[in-house]
Amino acid sequence: MIRAMTVGSASARPEHHGAWAHHRADVRSRILVAYLELLDAESVSGVSMPAVADRAGVSVRTLYRYFTTKDQLQQAAASWFDDLARDRIAGAEVDRSTMGAYRRALWTEMAGRMSAVRLQHATAEGRTMRTRRLDEAREVVDAALDPGLTGRARAETVDLIVAVSSSSMFLELVDRMGHDPERSADLITDLIELVIDKGGRQ
């Protein structure tokens, strides 16, 4: 009797944990989407935490359980597009073999929230978020390069790839010039391959 109860309880716990994790992920997603939607009409500094909570359909208290400061919320929103893109490539590592599919997914998601992307470039808060992510972007690119590429050539190759695959290039091609986001992503992927090949010959 005791053994049967123990087995039954153990098997129920993972299901409960899975449902709770799904609920938390859903609430977090609703909060981030609400924040990005509000950015379409407001400045970064003009979006209040109560307004985000109201739009997400949660209490302010619940919002602060997920994001204790507005800065945390902004940082999570800044990586929102990246998270969605990784989901679309089934969570695969972003490396040379997957970067094309990843960038197509990423830039398609960004095109759907153009106002939020523009605000990252037009406001002090947005520029701060982009600066914080620079080191991370460099690390991702550096990890994907051939270890034989070293020194100044490697550092320059890393920064060139970060620059041409940045949201600045996205805005230039998609927002200002009106190119299709997926086609633009393909062009940038081809350009990165050329940069990598040239770096390998230095």
- pLDDT per residue over 87-101, tens digit each? 877 767 777 788 889
29 in the same domain as 6: yes
At residue 192, what is the residue type?
I
Report pLDDT for 40. Answer: 66
93 in the same domain as 45: no
Among candidate residues 70, 64, 2, 1, the one with its CA nearest the CA of residue 27 = 64
Report pLDDT for 120. Answer: 75
Q: Hey, what long-range contacts does 57-62 have (CB within 8 A, 24 or more apart)?
A: 57/30, 58/27, 58/30, 58/31, 62/27
89 in the same domain as 66: no
83 in the same domain as 73: no
Cα–Cα distances (Å) from 77 to 13, 65, 90, 173, in that order, read 31, 16, 20, 22
Helices marked H in the chain: 2-39, 49-56, 60-66, 70-78, 80-88, 99-111, 114-122, 124-144, 151-164, 167-170, 181-201
DSSP letter for each residue of 57-114: TS-HHHHHHH-SSHHHHHHHHHTHHHHHHHHHTTT---STTTHHHHHHHHHHHHHTTH
Q: In sequence order, what are the residues at sequence separation of 6 or more whose Cβ sits closer than 8 angstroms to the Cβ of residue 80?
A: 32, 36
| Least confident span in 83-92, 135-144, 154-163 | 83-92
193 in the same domain as 93: yes
Containing structural domain, residue 37? 1-78
Report pLDDT for 173. Answer: 96
Interval 9-66: pLDDT, tens: 344 444 456 787 878 888 998 998 888 888 766 666 678 999 999 999 999 999 999 9
Q: Which residue has the higher pLDDT, 141 or 4?
A: 141
Report pLDDT for 201. Answer: 62
What tokens appear for 54 in the block?
């109201």
85 in the same domain as 69: no
Residue % of the chain over a pLDDT of 90 = 37
Q: In sequence order, what are the residues at sequence separation of 6 or more whose Cβ sits closer than 8 angstroms to the Cβ of residue 34?
A: 52, 53, 55, 56
198 in the same domain as 157: yes
